[in-house]
Structure 1
Amino acid sequence: MLFYCLKRAGFSAWTKPIFSDHWIRSYLTERWSGVHMGSEHQRSAGFGVGQSQRHVPNTPEVSIRDPPGSDHCRGRPQLRSVPFWSCVRLGQEHSRATGTRGHNRHAPAPVDCLNLKKSVLISCGGGHTSVLTKGGVVFTFGSGRYGQLGHNSLRDELRPRVVGQLWGSKVTQIACGRHHTLAFVGPSNKIYSFGCGEQGQLGNGVKIDQSVPLPVQLPDQIDDQKIEHIFAGGNHSFALCTLGQESEKRSNNLWSSVGKVTQQAIDEEIIDKWISECDSKSWKKGQKEITKMFSSASCLNGSFLDKSCDKHYQTSPKQSGLDFSLVQGAFRKLSKKAKVLTEVEAVVHHTLLPSLYEEPIGVEGLRVYLVLPELLRVLHKQHRRTDLTEAVAAAILRLHPDKLQVLGDCWSSLKRSVMTKHIGVWKKALSVILRSEHILRTRDPGIKHLLQVLGHLHRANQKSVETQTVPDSTFCMEEVHFNPIFLEEDVKLWRLWSKQDVDQTPAIFCRYPFLMNLQSKINVFNINAALTKNPPNNRQRTGMWPFDMFPVAAPAPFFELRLRRASLIEDTFHQLSVAYHSTFKRSIVVYFDEDATLTAVYKRDYFLHLFDKLLVPESGMFMYNDTNTLAWFPAMPRVEEKRYFLFGVLCGMALYNNNMVHLPFPMAFFKKLVNIKPSLEDLREFSPIEAGSLQYILDYPDDDVENMDMTFSVMWGDVVVELDPKETGKLVTSANKKEFVDTYVNYIFNQSVEVVFEEFRKGFFKVCDMDVVEFFQPEELRGVMVGKENFDWETLKQVRTMFCYYMTEAQSQIYPKPIVYI
């Protein structure tokens, strides 16, 4: 073994070592010394005893901190996972991630076992890898043939395993040679080595292998010197030490940067430099920096990290590791100088986006898609074109479906304020185009991409936790009023392409109803109803040849009801029960008491009186709350189930024929029609006392809940029902009280009425198309079917100048019944 110490002076700059299996080059600053042990074969140390080093002019500007192995590489951005790619012979890469052997990796893939371990340093040998965590724990995996894994065995490890002998030692650096490993414990200033020692590279005084970490026998003359950094070549090891106490502060500053990722990140300091530079020379340098940083996805992914409580180490689909206040502040600053923002926009559009990989590594590789919307937002504020927004949308949609799913999970975890801003970016671009471009522009791919991204955001929002969910109204483009002619074309395209979604499919707005305002949704419903009532091919044939060649006009598409006022309900149910279901979608015509007069007044009068009679307690069809103000379906119906089917048909006919009716049901009724799960708040509307009791249980101190001696049961419809049939008498505890409340609400609104409400749904959707009804939010559907029964008298009083008579202020308080022309 050869072991010696070198001192060099005269170099003005410190360059970190660059090394491979067979050589090391090192440039040392003044007051630094090097310690080297191992083979001199082919002058692997890069210099001989007594010879001075010669500066190599083409030294790279960027140091290689983590040396590649013989057949594998590793990269470590600031993230929680470790990507790799390799040729696999000894399990050094893919096998370590999956527990299998023999499959080469040609692209980086994460080692999931190391997720959330706070990896800060990685080193690769010929067939093994070591990883150091922030807490000083060392993991090794891969080939163990020479004991280089430090597990006191020669066995290969397919997954990362802690080096037990170093546990608790607070390791601060690691380095891998071809078949050996070094670990430096900073507090004790000791180097530990293990693995192949055939050429003395372990520094233990002998040329033998060792499978456990043992201290390196350092020379006596460096006992008072501080070891700053360690390196391992193919068959040798190298340690860098400081000389003299006066360099202690300097060495500490160096250590703060040595061993850390040298990749640049965008921060306020560099942005301040860009926006303050004025002369052409400085601006050219700034342009180069902007191009370098904004053309790199890895640079953006490693910028704006949330380092509070090490959150950037905890990256997952539920935690992006980004500090969005930093992102917003950075782009806000960039927008202060137009030419800087223009340069950034151009680099992102023409260099960054084309380079983005369809399958980025881990969640960290998706951060760029969370950062760019903030750039788009400042561009929109300056009223710039939407080209970049459309290009970013296209890049998002090019992602592999699995990665797009992960990005959706990231969106779901965003804070409500951040999610609202992201939605606004895509909505703003779409709104600008719709208001400024020709109608045919709405069918091009750019618009389709914007719609699809908004669709993914909407689905992500629906999956987010309740406290973070953005209201659906946030997606609505209230300012955009769709032309009825355009909507009719859109409805036809929607029906034509309903079963397909290929590249050739045009942009169809009916696929994204959450973007439409209420009036547009009503227009779509009416257009769809009109197309159904009067289809273009509404012609019939005689069935006799040759006359069958000439189609004749079909009968008028009406559904006729001939009724007696004295038996309105009985006649209605009878005629509906004998009619063909296919005729329910026709326009309804009502005749009373043999009166052949055809008038719309009869139709409105019919629905008004019919629903008044059906919704009274005497009808026996429904149950009512304590105040008899709201109705609900009974758990034990007293009328035949078919009546609920026909009642659904009548509700569908009323909506289909644009007639508002009396439906005193809670919001849960309308939620169930659009497939939204009712909640405790809906029970509060129907039965405030009962909902209040359940809320009290949720708010009750955990220790006291078990003392209430409550069971999983509910008294509903004068019957006590066990909510958990598998465990009769199950007690409500602090651990299951949320489950109890959810089960209770579910029983009232779903389980107890499952049969009768399903009959009602079948009838309702025999008339109305389900996919069109689901355009509406529950409150919108209630407004369309029932109308608004609560008048804002304060608002009406503000327009009392339009009254057809005058009243004094006192009279208006007593008789608030003005006639208003709206």
Structure 2
Amino acid sequence: MWRPAFNFTNTGWSGVHMGSEHQRSAGFGVGQSQRHVPNTPEVSIRDPPGSDHCRGRPQLRSVPFWSCVRLGQEHSRATGTRGHNRHAPAPVDCLNLKKSVLISCGGGHTSVLTKGGVVFTFGSGRYGQLGHNSLRDELRPRVVGQLWGSKVTQIACGRHHTLAFVGPSNKIYSFGCGEQGQLGNGVKIDQSVPLPVQLPDQIDDQKIEHIFAGGNHSFALCTLGQESEKRSNNLWSSVGKVTQQAIDEEIIDKWISECDSKSWKKGQKEITKMFSSASCLNGSFLDKSCDKHYQTSPKQSGLDFSLVQGAFRKLSKKAKVLTEVEAVVHHTLLPSLYEEPIGVEGLRVYLVLPELLRVLHKQHRRTDLTEAVAAAILRLHPDKLQVLGDCWSSLKRSVMTKHIGVWKKALSVILRSEHILRTRDPGIKHLLQVLGHLHRANQKSVETQTVPDSTFCMEEVHFNPIFLEEDVKLWRLWSKQDVDQTPAIFCRYPFLMNLQSKINVFNINAALTKNPPNNRQRTGMWPFDMFPVAAPAPFFELRLRRASLIEDTFHQLSVAYHSTFKRSIVVYFDEDATLTAVYKRDYFLHLFDKLLVPESGMFMYNDTNTLAWFPAMPRVEEKRYFLFGVLCGMALYNNNMVHLPFPMAFFKKLVNIKPSLEDLREFSPIEAGSLQYILDYPDDDVENMDMTFSVMWGDVVVELDPKETGKLVTSANKKEFVDTYVNYIFNQSVEVVFEEFRKGFFKVCDMDVVEFFQPEELRGVMVGKENFDWETLKQVRTMFCYYMTEAQSQIYPKPIVYI
């Protein structure tokens, strides 16, 4: 039975207790030390930890634990196998997204309460303390069915018993070991299901505020008088609970408004305490709308970025406050960050800090902290870095753009202001690597959130050819390796380069391939032969008759060694031995004009005969598509624009980007419009269209789903139908012939260099545009030549800029 135990004089509180008297010294858990969970928001400890295990509740969705595991206190997915101890916190994944608000630990079991009033228990069930009507241990969290729908508001675990308080009905339920009377049921027996506690009659008109469970006893705190709620809050804030102060605009307002030295010293202490704690930052700026902070996952960070941005914007209003924050983060927070933070919540700090870096950049401060944060990100365990990448992928486009801007800005500042030797140090490499991770994360984003690749481009940074030549050589040298000793290599991050830099890299790589460094000859006269000079590069010669241009070209290409395709091309016409670049330009111009007319039989054309595409049923031998690829590669490799009337899908496929419905719209607007109409058609009416998964292409009807002939298009599968339709036209129907073309093209051009270009850039480089800004072209040409020595100008092809 429960009986009155004490009365707080003049406080309006009374207490009832049950169980062993000699255990009362356990109190309410005051003085129990808080265990630190690295990087996670500070935990709220409801009552003392269990005898062999401890558990913390971040203000979010996951539950970390660490313990000696004997009876399955921790759920098996986190601990591996039963009987293995854990010495560091790990998440209980089964409780993710359950909105856990309270956790209590017993001697060998754990109880978790969700915001909705549902109770989960797991661990030792020897005395029935799990409430599942059995004495079986549970290795995974399991709902206490008897309490379902009761709207439990508090829980407490003793050594081998559990209490649950249902606030609306003012009832306490108990279950588990009762040999000391701690269940309050009037007898000293165990019970394995929750049953109401028999409370004293004299507290019928009092409200139970809090329950506590000791080793072998239980307490309930009741209220007297009219101010129960106020007293409850005051006591509960100081008994059995440790709260973590979060950074918000209110405390920042206090920091930036403090003037006297005494107030500033206090502010400095608060800044140090809060900004040196990863758990504090992880628990700040939470998005509490619709309980989003309880839904934390790699796709939902739980952060409100408007709060983050507003807070750091205010911090920047007072220079000394911002300087103090910068110093604490740099020298205290970053060195303390754990390489394997617990859960997604432990990674929030890496999403918050870029906002600090952004305000620092706006004030033109040094980039030291940015480089240090980049290094901290890269110290994360690969698995955690992958999760952080997933978080980046889920960011809104506006937030992602700002994050990219932070790292890009720091890199740009260094490149424009520091000595060129600085560009190879680890700090630069770290910035490049973080941008690389962001770029990969962006590519995994859903289409509506993907940031354009142009966002990554540093248009304002112009790499001179001398630097790029060195970078290309390093890139080729370290192509198979990426170790700590690998220097910063910009060619590994082509998305940062502007178009002119990419063209220069392509030309430099081609020149090095045509005339490798070991291709040297000696003068033969000592001592001058101590200094070898470049030997003339070998050429790929074509001797052609104008009257049979296509036949001669295909014949000579078909009998040539593939290894010779990478040489500089030289063209002779009709026995004319004159060596002139005019013949080469004339050759490509006329050859592609002849190849791309309908009479050649190599391609199909759209309704207006303005764009060509590869045929589903070719009328010429497949080898011709291979040789056509070689010719396209040679034209690009030798800086010759050619006539290629293909849709953007052609250039997308060359750089491994999947064509889309928009690409079909370019090639066949009517057909694409019909598909768009299906997507936009009301779901209820799609079935009435009586369409099947088929396509008429190349005068042949093709089933798009061979496994189900006549499959109908419905509202549920219309997106699948459109995607399959587009895929058939641009991929499946031309798989053989386009693959032959690709093989030929990349026999000449290096694939990894071609993939530097975006599809629209590649089209501009290969085909060009009609509108040229000749003044800009002259300036770029002059700048390029300025950086080249006379010897280099003989080796490298003259750059061509496409505006």
* TM-score, normalised relative to structure 2: 0.91
Contact preservation (8 Å) 1:590, 1:603:
yes
Q: Which moved more, 1:725-734 or 1:455-464?
A: 725-734
Distance in 2 between the 1:797 and 1:43 partners?
Answer: 90
List per-residue Cα deviations over 1:165-223 (Å, max 9, x = no partner): 11111110001011111111111111111111111211222222111111222222222
Please give the secondary structure, in 2, of the residue aligned with 1:383: coil
Structure 2 counterparts to residues 31-430 of structure 1, below 5 A: 32-41=13-22, 44=25, 64-95=45-76, 97=78, 100-251=81-232, 262-430=243-411
**Closer/same/farther in 2, CA of residues 807 and 528 from structure 1, 3 Å limit:** closer
List per-residue Cα deviations over 1:316-354 (Å, max 9, x = no partner): 110111100000001001111111111111111111111
Distance in 2 between the 1:801 and 1:702 partners?
Answer: 60
Contact preservation (8 Å) 1:94, 1:103:
no
List per-residue Cα deviations over 1:255-297 (Å, max 9, x = no partner): 6998876111111111111111111111111111111111111
Please give the secondary structure, in 1, of the residue aligned with 2:172: strand
Contact preservation (8 Å) 1:78, 1:261:
no
**Superposition deviation, residue 591 in structure 1:** 1.0
List per-residue Cα deviations over 1:445-470 (Å, max 9, x = no partner): 11000000000000000000000000
Contact preservation (8 Å) 2:36, 2:42:
no
Contact preservation (8 Å) 2:45, 2:242:
no
**Closer/same/farther in 2, CA of residues 817 and 603 from structure 1, 3 Å limit:** closer
**Closer/same/farther in 2, CA of residues 178 and 18 from structure 1, 3 Å limit:** farther
**Superposition deviation, residue 574 in structure 1:** 1.0
| Identity across the alignment (%) | 100
Q: Which moved more, 1:776-785 or 1:796-805?
A: 796-805
**Superposition deviation, residue 37 in structure 1:** 2.0
The two structures, once aligned, show a CA RMSD in angstroms of 7.4
List per-residue Cα deviations over 1:729-785 (Å, max 9, x = no partner): 111111111111111101110111111111111111011000000000000000000
**Superposition deviation, residue 40 in structure 1:** 2.1
Q: Which moved more, 1:698-707 or 1:122-131?
A: 698-707
**Closer/same/farther in 2, CA of residues 435 and 678 from structure 1, 3 Å limit:** same
- Residue equivalent to 1:697: 678
**Closer/same/farther in 2, CA of residues 80 and 19 from structure 1, 3 Å limit:** farther
Contact preservation (8 Å) 1:99, 1:159:
no
**Superposition deviation, residue 365 in structure 1:** 0.7
Contact preservation (8 Å) 1:140, 1:162:
yes
List alignment gaps of at least 5 residues for structure 2.
8-12
List per-residue Cα deviations over 1:529-585 (Å, max 9, x = no partner): 000010111259999999999999967411111111111111111111111111111
List per-residue Cα deviations over 1:43-85 (Å, max 9, x = no partner): 5266999999999999999985342111111111111111111
List per-residue Cα deviations over 1:221-268 (Å, max 9, x = no partner): 222221111111111111212211244444367669988761111111
Contact preservation (8 Å) 1:97, 1:158:
no
**Superposition deviation, residue 594 in structure 1:** 1.2
**Closer/same/farther in 2, CA of residues 47 and 468 from structure 1, 3 Å limit:** closer
List per-residue Cα deviations over 1:364-409 (Å, max 9, x = no partner): 1111110110010001001111111111101110111111101000
Contact preservation (8 Å) 2:246, 2:280:
yes
Please give the secondary structure, in 1, of the residue aligned with 2:786: coil
**Closer/same/farther in 2, CA of residues 19 and 329 from structure 1, 3 Å limit:** farther
**Closer/same/farther in 2, CA of residues 75 and 18 from structure 1, 3 Å limit:** farther
Q: Which moved more, 1:476-485 or 1:64-73?
A: 64-73
Distance in 2 between the 1:335 and 1:604 partners?
Answer: 59
Distance in 2 between the 1:808 and 1:486 partners?
Answer: 13
Distance in 2 between the 1:800 and 1:439 partners?
Answer: 22
Contact preservation (8 Å) 1:19, 1:233:
no
Distance in 2 between the 1:161 and 1:248 partners?
Answer: 32
Contact preservation (8 Å) 1:576, 1:646:
yes
Distance in 2 between the 1:809 and 1:443 partners?
Answer: 27
Contact preservation (8 Å) 1:88, 1:94:
no
Contact preservation (8 Å) 2:30, 2:240:
no
**Closer/same/farther in 2, CA of residues 710 and 60 from structure 1, 3 Å limit:** closer
Distance in 2 between the 1:102 and 1:818 partners?
Answer: 69
List alignment gaps of at least 5 residues for structure 1.
1-13, 21-31
Contact preservation (8 Å) 2:125, 2:134:
yes
**Superposition deviation, residue 643 in structure 1:** 0.8
Contact preservation (8 Å) 1:86, 1:94:
no
- 2:498 maps to which of 492, 517, 521: 517
**Closer/same/farther in 2, CA of residues 716 and 310 from structure 1, 3 Å limit:** same
**Closer/same/farther in 2, CA of residues 362 and 634 from structure 1, 3 Å limit:** same
Contact preservation (8 Å) 1:121, 1:259:
no
For this pair of structures, how many residues does the alignment match? 797
Distance in 2 between the 1:87 and 1:475 partners?
Answer: 49
Contact preservation (8 Å) 1:663, 1:786:
yes
**Closer/same/farther in 2, CA of residues 702 and 19 from structure 1, 3 Å limit:** farther
Distance in 1 between the 2:56 and 2:345 partners?
Answer: 13
Please give the secondary structure, in 2, of the residue aligned with 1:90: coil
Distance in 2 between the 1:591 and 1:17 partners?
Answer: 111
Please give the secondary structure, in 1, of the residue aligned with 2:404: helix
Distance in 2 between the 1:622 and 1:393 partners?
Answer: 50
Q: Which moved more, 1:696-705 or 1:204-213?
A: 204-213
Higher RCO, 1 vs 2 (CA within 8 Å, ≥6 residues apart): 2
**Closer/same/farther in 2, CA of residues 794 and 728 from structure 1, 3 Å limit:** farther
**Closer/same/farther in 2, CA of residues 808 and 202 from structure 1, 3 Å limit:** closer
* TM-score, normalised relative to structure 1: 0.89
**Closer/same/farther in 2, CA of residues 622 and 241 from structure 1, 3 Å limit:** same
Distance in 2 between the 1:444 and 1:68 partners?
Answer: 48
**Closer/same/farther in 2, CA of residues 466 and 803 from structure 1, 3 Å limit:** closer
**Closer/same/farther in 2, CA of residues 495 and 203 from structure 1, 3 Å limit:** same
Please give the secondary structure, in 2, of the residue aligned with 1:207: coil
Contact preservation (8 Å) 2:768, 2:802:
no
Contact preservation (8 Å) 2:785, 2:793:
no
**Closer/same/farther in 2, CA of residues 519 and 410 from structure 1, 3 Å limit:** same
Q: Which moved more, 1:752-761 or 1:235-244?
A: 235-244
Distance in 2 between the 1:414 and 1:173 partners?
Answer: 36
List per-residue Cα deviations over 1:664-723 (Å, max 9, x = no partner): 000000000000000000000000000000000111111111111111111111111111
- Residue equivalent to 2:720: 739
Contact preservation (8 Å) 1:95, 1:102:
no
- Residue equivalent to 1:676: 657
**Closer/same/farther in 2, CA of residues 635 and 17 from structure 1, 3 Å limit:** farther
**Closer/same/farther in 2, CA of residues 628 and 149 from structure 1, 3 Å limit:** same
